[in-house]
Chains A and B, each alone.
Chain A
């Protein structure tokens, strides 16, 4: 019995060594024959994926750039940040992705494009305001909505974000820790909520998200007319006219978004509603060309 056991162990040992020999042969192959052609192979693979047209190449570039990071070693600290080709100023950090916005799912995070003067400002707001905050309004006669924060990763209603509350310290504290507050990256977004069956729920909640996901999955099976129908249904809460800047950026207590309730620190509210911001908004309004310069057209 012992002899048999010894024999089996020996055979297994020999088989193990044989496997190692074969593996070693494979392992050494690229080391001996080098990696010549690897770059060319990668380039040709990218070209295959990217296609010939400018648009296709741009898409390929976008896919590769989204994961690009840059590390700067200062010796006493390392700065790792997203990399955008050709950008001079440092970015520092990425904004947390919004996994629970039905709109962002198709329109992305930088959707505003129409108005040349304010598109960047509007895009700035998409990082901490849900689209429906400005693009949906209660119907006439309906109760005004209440606003709340929702978590970008869970889609659940959350209390006022700490990162926002901490901004106050940047105004009041001498501590270096609070010297550089981060604006807009709160891990949460402001969204309208409505009361239904005595329950306060998000205007675009899980139910709406599931609906959009289902549509996106099934759309290839739908007829063109059905697609249009579905789009109409999905967008039915979208108002024709979005909420205007001055509805929130103004002095007084009757602001559309109640900054105080949502945890905005007093100094920050002052900033958002003082002349610097409000005045600028006024000026942007006046940047539109007057009608007499736009024959046959109407100003937006």
Chain B
């Protein structure tokens, strides 16, 4: 949308918004104006006319990086929208108002929190219905991260259970190019040109290409996924409240963890092991649940998932992945650790001491603590042995 169009739109919306605010000070208006505004307000707003772009031209203000304030609780509130980054993900097809639907005029009052489960104007192509994340929220509610237990009662520490924004910020597309040879990150111009040969209108080809190829691999870098989980599971107070092990630390000590933090994308991260292959990523279940990916009976299958250890025997999963050295919870692991640490320390420092003393002797070959002249301490040269 060009600037002129945006300006025209904002003016038209401003006028209707003005009608609402002006009614508060209606004493300043004459009756003709009042009736005119009343008529305008009675005309239903035709949503089908809303464009895909900025129907309220929100960016006229929100494009400024400094649009911010400190709220009453002392929290810094930033209202800036980075258009370039916003348009780098699937939400670029949405209007601001699709999520911030309580805003119906500019200037507007403080916006309400966004409900991710509400329907937006995008039609989901498979079901031909308005798109919503409601299904995801329902799946999350069934998972170990759901706020209710199996009896429908609220779990303790409700504030600790995640909502969408705790794990997700605005998503990005991570397209890949597969034209010849191996897949690479980014858009294959050769591929997308073939799409554009038929799908010429708007950004359809680009949207489709980026959406589909992003879904062909992980939408987030493995390290980022671990960091997302660490927001809660890395917090010692949180772990204490829920009696959880420090799985982030133990993961980082594993081969998987080391590789992920060295930059690997092919190594298992939290989601790979904690979600059953083919299941929704939001359905992470406790290991006591029989359908869980990490239930004892399913561990083998989890390791054998496609793209992982396909030919692995069940024994591969026979070790404790997240080894936690808690004396009360896992005494065997704790004392084993103590034993091996002690063993290693004794061996290493014994030999280091030996080496140090040996070097000391090289430095002072004739040094001795025994300075006395006792006859048995004096070593006689061989030639003198026979002398009286």
Contact surface of A with B, Cβ cutoff 8 Å: 10-11, 14-15, 17-18, 21-22, 24-25, 28, 32-34, 36, 39-40, 43, 55, 58, 72-76, 79, 84, 86-93, 95, 109-110, 112-113, 117, 119-121, 123-128, 171, 179-180, 182-185, 267, 271, 274-277, 279-280, 283-284, 286-287, 290
Partner of A183, one of B65, B76, B107: B65
Q: Is the CB of A280 within 8 A of B78?
A: no
The total number of A-B Cβ pairs within 8 Å is 175
Q: Is the CB of B176 within 8 A of A276?
A: no
Q: Is the CB of B66 within 8 A of A184?
A: yes
Contacts of A24 in B (CB 8 A): 352
Is B374 on the interface with A (CB-CB < 8 A)? no
Q: Is the CB of A32 within 8 A of B63?
A: no
Most chain A CB atoms below 10 A, which of B69, B168, B176, B348: B69
B17-25, B121-129, B199-207, B375-383: which lies at the interface: B17-25
21 A-B pairs with CB atoms under 8 Å apart are A17-B355, A18-B360, A25-B352, A32-B345, A72-B172, A74-B173, A74-B185, A76-B184, A84-B78, A88-B114, A92-B85, A95-B66, A119-B69, A121-B67, A123-B67, A127-B64, A180-B83, A185-B65, A271-B3, A279-B11, A280-B10
Q: How far is the CA of A180 from the CA of B57 in the complex (A)?
A: 15
Is B279 on the interface with A (CB-CB < 8 A)? no
Q: How many residues of B are in contact with the other chain, CB < 8 A?
A: 69
Q: Is the CB of B74 within 8 A of A58?
A: yes
> Which 5 pairs of residues, A with B, have the shortest CB-CB distance?
A75-B185, A127-B66, A76-B186, A180-B84, A92-B82
Q: Is the CB of B107 within 8 A of A280?
A: yes
Contacts of A171 in B (CB 8 A): 3
Can you list, as one digit per residue, whether each of B67-102 has a CB less than 8 Å from chain A (1) or not (0)? 111100010111111111110100000000000000
Q: From B67, which residue of chain A is reached at the shortest CB distance?
A: A124
Q: How far is the CA of A79 from the CA of B170 in the complex (A)?
A: 13
Contacts of B224 in A (CB 8 A): 72-73
With A14-B362, A120-B79, A184-B65 as contacts: A74 and B174 at CB distance below 8 Å: yes
Can you list, as one digit per residue, whether each of B347-369 has a CB less than 8 Å from chain A (1) or not (0)? 01100100110011011000000
Q: Is the CB of A113 within 8 A of B69?
A: yes
Q: Is the CB of B236 within 8 A of A43?
A: yes
Q: From A83, which residue of chain B is reached at the shortest CB distance?
A: B169
Q: How far is the CA of A125 from the CA of B66 in the complex (A)?
A: 7
Interface of chain B residues 1 through 39 with chain A (CB within 8 A): 3, 6-7, 10-11, 14, 17-18, 21-22, 24-25
Q: Is the CB of A18 within 8 A of B356?
A: yes
Q: How far is the CA of A15 from the CA of B364 in the complex (A)?
A: 11
Q: Is the CB of B345 within 8 A of A33?
A: yes
Contacts of B107 in A (CB 8 A): 117, 280, 283-284, 287
Q: Is the CB of A275 within 8 A of B11?
A: yes
Contact surface of B with A, Cβ cutoff 8 Å: 3, 6-7, 10-11, 14, 17-18, 21-22, 24-25, 57, 60-61, 63-70, 74, 76-86, 88, 106-107, 114, 165, 168-170, 172-174, 176, 184-186, 221, 223-224, 236-237, 249, 325, 341, 344-345, 348-349, 352, 355-356, 359-360, 362-363
Q: How far is the CA of A19 from the CA of B185 in the complex (A)?
A: 49
Can you name 9 extra interface pairs (CB under 8 A) apart from A75-B186, A275-B10?
A25-B348, A76-B186, A86-B165, A93-B82, A110-B76, A120-B77, A123-B68, A276-B14, A279-B11
Q: How far is the CA of A126 from the CA of B184 in the complex (A)?
A: 43
With A14-B362, A92-B85, A283-B17 as contacts: A33 and B341 at CB distance below 8 Å: yes
With A22-B356, A275-B7, A283-B17 as contacts: A124 and B81 at CB distance below 8 Å: no
Q: How close is B132's CB to chain A, nearest CB, in angstroms?
A: 17
Q: From A92, which residue of chain B is reached at the shortest CB distance?
A: B82
Q: How close is B265's CB to chain A, nearest CB, in angstroms?
A: 8
Contacts of A11 in B (CB 8 A): 363
Q: From A78, which residue of chain B is reached at the shortest CB distance?
A: B221
Q: From A170, which residue of chain B is reached at the shortest CB distance?
A: B3
Q: From B17, which residue of chain A is reached at the shortest CB distance?
A: A283
Contacts of A284 in B (CB 8 A): 107
With A76-B185, A90-B82, A90-B86 as contacts: A18 and B14 at CB distance below 8 Å: no
Q: From A42, which residue of chain B is reached at the shortest CB distance?
A: B236
Q: How close is B339's CB to chain A, nearest CB, in angstroms?
A: 13
Q: How close is B241's CB to chain A, nearest CB, in angstroms?
A: 14
Q: From B60, which residue of chain A is reached at the shortest CB distance?
A: A276
Partner of B66, one of A76, A89, A124, A279: A124
Q: Is the CB of B84 within 8 A of A109?
A: no
Contacts of A119 in B (CB 8 A): 69
Contacts of B80 in A (CB 8 A): 89, 91
Q: How close is B309's CB to chain A, nearest CB, in angstroms?
A: 24
Q: From B214, which residue of chain A is reached at the shortest CB distance?
A: A74
With A58-B74, A89-B169, A280-B107 as contacts: A182 and B65 at CB distance below 8 Å: yes
Q: How close is A64's CB to chain B, nearest CB, in angstroms?
A: 14
Contacts of B78 in A (CB 8 A): 84, 87, 91
Q: How far is the CA of A87 from the CA of B75 in the complex (A)?
A: 12
Partner of B165, one of A88, A126, A267, A271: A88
Q: How close is B88's CB to chain A, nearest CB, in angstroms?
A: 8
Q: How close is B106's CB to chain A, nearest CB, in angstroms?
A: 6
Q: How far is the CA of A36 from the CA of B223 in the complex (A)?
A: 22
Q: Is the CB of A123 within 8 A of B356?
A: no
Q: Is the CB of A286 within 8 A of B64?
A: no
